[in-house]
Amino acid sequence: MITSTTGPQPADFADVRATNLAVVLRFVREHAPCSRADIAASTGLNKATVSSLVADLIDRRLVRETGLTENRVGRPATMLVLDGSPYAAIGVEINVDFVSAVAVDLAGERLLTWRRSFSAGDSVNQGVAAVGAIVRRVVNRMAKEERQILGLAVAVPGLVDVQGTVRLAPNLGWRDADIGGDLAKALRDPGFPIQVDNDANLAALAEQRFGAHAGAADLVYLTGEVGVGAGIILDGRLRRGGLGYSGEIGHVQLDPDGPACHCGRRGCLEAMAGIGAVLRKDPSPAEIQVEIEESLRLARAGDPGTLATLESAGRSLGRGVSILANLLNPEVVVLGGYYVPLAPWLLPAVEEELRDRVVAAEGGGCQVVASTLGHDAAALGGAARILDSVDSGRLPGGLARIP
């Protein structure tokens, strides 16, 4: 079917209603506990409309009244908070050496975090089976808690197009895989939406919502797994690019004569500052954690070879971060994955490169920090993406009432 639009269409009544419900829901998320009068005063919606919208959100069990009242001049007001209990959002990450799952409630409270090992080189079918198995367990747990699943988003390290098809995940050896469709089949059409996205994109959403720099409008997340990718948030929004392939900073060439990269080229950032470069070998997935711990032990003991390797990887990483800072001027670049424990040794070189290579003074104000969300950032970001879609008006449950 071909559809065409001839410019902006007038928003119909249902659209306005959904938009206003989302406005009220976001206000409660950010300001709870708050009263209906607070919502009216801050959003510009009139009090009758706010009452109707709040009643709708209560019907949908997204918002609930608390016994709290606010002491101020005039009548005490019934306060509103998000209702965390009836819903759950699920995020899953599949990566070279693990599958992890996170569930959060509507208020963003963590309900569970599970992780199991996974072996890259497994086929797409085996990958889908591994994700399906962990999701089934999460869904069963949530059902026991009588929670409705708002949705599932799966993070994959690779190029994921805007339709959610994994076009290329080089470190998993996957190409043109409809993970979402396969997963829906494996879960026997579970009745909630399944989305698939790039791991760095989802981790950036997790940082924006839950991280130490939550709320930053201009933030870049850099994955430090076997691959290095960037999730880019500019002006408050995730920037995917035309087909969804933005952020492949890992394959920006730093040195034409540099080491071979998994992508078939030479001297990519990933080959010079990815985990393989840090460890000076291409470890098998099962070895990575042990090798990182050994590297940390040697660094703490002041082993000169290890310190030199980490400094060299930090310099390459700093060159990559400088490219991001010159192009995008982020407030903060968050280093994730295996970069987190290594950050004390990587950051001095990164910061020096940033000072040398960014045209704007002080690196354009760019801070480089280690993530506080750890290895679960992308899975948590999957859950964040589901909450984002609720916040932007895809509300579960209930029927919109006529105001």
Residues that bind Zn ion (CB under 5 A): 251, 261, 263, 265, 268
**Shortest distance, CB of residue 259 to Zn ion, whole angstroms?**
10
Output 271 or 321, the one with its CB closest to Zn ion: 271
Contact between 362 and 81 under an 8 Å Cβ cutoff? The reply is: no
**Shortest distance, CB of residue 270 to Zn ion, whole angstroms?**
5
**Shortest distance, CB of residue 155 to Zn ion, whole angstroms?**
20
Output 79 or 268, the one with its CB closest to Zn ion: 268
Output 281 or 297, the one with its CB closest to Zn ion: 281
CA dihedral 272, 277, 281, 286 (to 10 degrees): -120
H-type helices in 187-338, by residue range?
A: 199-210, 269-273, 275-279, 285-300, 304-328
Report which of 178, 136, 137 is spatially closest to residue 156, judged by C-alpha positions: 178
> At what angle are helices 179-186 and 124-144 packed, to 10 degrees?
50
**Shortest distance, CB of residue 265 to Zn ion, whole angstroms?**
5
**Shortest distance, CB of residue 354 to Zn ion, whole angstroms?**
22
What is the token pair recorded at 82? 């998000």
Contact between 258 and 272 under an 8 Å Cβ cutoff? The reply is: yes
Output 101 or 321, the one with its CB closest to Zn ion: 321
Report which of 341, 334, 339, 219 is spatially closest to residue 273, judged by C-alpha positions: 339
Q: How many CA atoms lie within 13 A of 340 on its CB side?
A: 14
Output 175 or 185, the one with its CB closest to Zn ion: 175
What is the token pair recorded at 79? 């306060």
Contact between 214 and 29 under an 8 Å Cβ cutoff? The reply is: no
Gap between the Cα atoms of 50 and 205, Å rounded: 29
Output 74 or 264, the one with its CB closest to Zn ion: 264
Output 32 or 263, the one with its CB closest to Zn ion: 263
Output 92 or 249, the one with its CB closest to Zn ion: 249
Output 252 or 369, the one with its CB closest to Zn ion: 252
**Shortest distance, CB of residue 248 to Zn ion, whole angstroms?**
8
**Shortest distance, CB of residue 242 to Zn ion, whole angstroms?**
21
**Shortest distance, CB of residue 21 to Zn ion, whole angstroms?**
45
What is the token pair recorded at 177? 């895989």
Residue 2 vs residues 5, 21: alpha-carbon distances, Å: 10, 31
Output 62 or 278, the one with its CB closest to Zn ion: 278
Gap between the Cα atoms of 233 and 225, Å rounded: 20
Report the alpha-carbon angle 242-161-202, nearest 5: 95
**Residue 326 burial (CB < 10 Å; 0-12/13-18/19+)?**
middle
Gap between the Cα atoms of 239 and 220, Å rounded: 10
Gap between the Cα atoms of 154 and 164, Å rounded: 9
**Shortest distance, CB of residue 231 to Zn ion, whole angstroms?**
18
**Shortest distance, CB of residue 249 to Zn ion, whole angstroms?**
10
Gap between the Cα atoms of 158 and 173, Å rounded: 10
